[in-house]
Amino acid sequence: MTEPVRRFRIDCDDATTREWLLAEAFEAGAGGAEESEFDGRFRADIYAAPDEIESVRATIAALEAPGTRVDPVETLTPVDWSEAWKEGLEALEISPRLLVRPPFVDSPGNEGQIEIVIEPGQAFGTGNHASTRLCLEWIDGLVSGEIGGPEVDRVLDVGTGSGVLALAAVALGVERAIGFDLDPVAVEAAEEAARENPRGGSATFFAGPIEAVSGPSFPLVVANLLKKEMLPIAHEIAVRVAPGGRLVLAGLLEEDLPAVLARFAEEGLEEVGRRERTDPIGRWVSPCLGRS
């Protein structure tokens, strides 16, 4: 079934602002986006259903992001969204132990490899974004013992999105994972994914703030958040890392790192390792922190 395609463009001074606005657009109901760079500017074409696009644009325009232009909505040639949105999504092999794929992509069928199946939707975190992949690599290495660190029997997933990080942890053998998000749509997606994935019953998800996480601290905490979301709750994140535990951070571009590392150093957490990936947006960094 085809329908008119409507979009609007945002044109930003920097990649960080573009990432923030894209996150806000998806939360407001956007169905897709295409990112590009031209003449030193950071652009994104944002798509949504015809009856929602004006509302999404109004939400982004109301943020009045510095150095950003929000163009009017335009109508393009109709496409079949039921199939077009799947293009470019593929199985993501994290290691010989772990693979993440959408349900419409066939499994490679590698013997002994654990598969996490995530339905792409409104929630972030299908595994294809560089920051999510970096987190999955850390979880795989730390839980398996391939990377030195504490024995990981419990994981806290801060800003869980689709739940893929928590689900990967329990599938790899972690006894219990807790994931939370401020977005109830993300939590619904995570709970649905838990019903369809290995040992999903060992993962618990809830909608709410980090202050609602009580009980013992965690040997592994993962926070895949933008800098502007991470820094205000840095203390709350840090106090939930057990003595000798590890904190994995992601969602950070290279230029974000100095301020983030300085803030967590105030909480007694120092960098013990780093992973990086580059995509058209820039260089994404994922530091692993431990108690100094």
Question: Where are the chain's structural domains?
Answer: 3-84, 92-291
Tell me, yes or no, if the pTM score tops 0.75.
Answer: no
Q: Which residues contact 87 (CB under 8 A, 6 or more apart)?
A: none
For residues 69 and 88, the model is more confident at: 69
Q: b/e for 62-75, b at 16 or more Cβ within 10 A?
A: eeebeebebeebee
Q: Which has the closest alpha carbon to 288: 107, 168, 152, 188?
A: 152
- What tokens does 138 get? 């850390």
**Residue 70's beta-bridge partner residues?**
10
User: What radius of gyration, in Å, describes the C-alpha atoms of the chain?
Assistant: 19
Q: Which has the closest alpha carbon to 15: 62, 72, 65?
A: 65
Domains 3-84 and 92-291 fall in the same CATH topology? no
- 92-291 CATH: 3.40.50.150
- What tokens does 179 get? 């994931």
Span 113-121, average pLDDT: 85
State the Cα–Cα distance between residues 292 and 267, nearest whole angstrom: 9
State the Cα–Cα distance between residues 158 and 265, nearest whole angstrom: 19
- 3-84 CATH: 3.30.70.100
State the Cα–Cα distance between residues 286 and 74, nearest whole angstrom: 37
> Average pLDDT over the chain, rounded to whole?
90
Q: b/e for 231-254, b at 16 or more Cβ within 10 A?
A: bebbeebbebbbeebbbbbbbbbe
State the Cα–Cα distance between residues 160 and 193, nearest whole angstrom: 12
Q: Name the pLDDT band for 86 (thresholds 50, 70, 90).
A: low
pLDDT above 90 (res 81): no
Of 74-83, 176-185, 254-263, the range with the lowest mean pLDDT is 74-83
Q: Which has the closest alpha carbon to 76: 114, 111, 48?
A: 48
H helical segments located in the chain: 15-28, 53-62, 81-84, 130-144, 164-171, 184-196, 227-230, 234-238, 257-265
State the Cα–Cα distance between residues 155 and 164, nearest whole angstrom: 12
Q: Name the pLDDT band for 122 (thresholds 50, 70, 90).
A: very low
Q: Name the pLDDT band for 87 (thresholds 50, 70, 90).
A: low
Look at residue 19 in the predicted model and tell me its pLDDT. 95
pLDDT digits (tens, 9 = 90+) for 200-243: 999 999 999 999 999 999 999 999 999 999 999 999 999 999 99
Q: Name the pLDDT band for 106 (thresholds 50, 70, 90).
A: confident
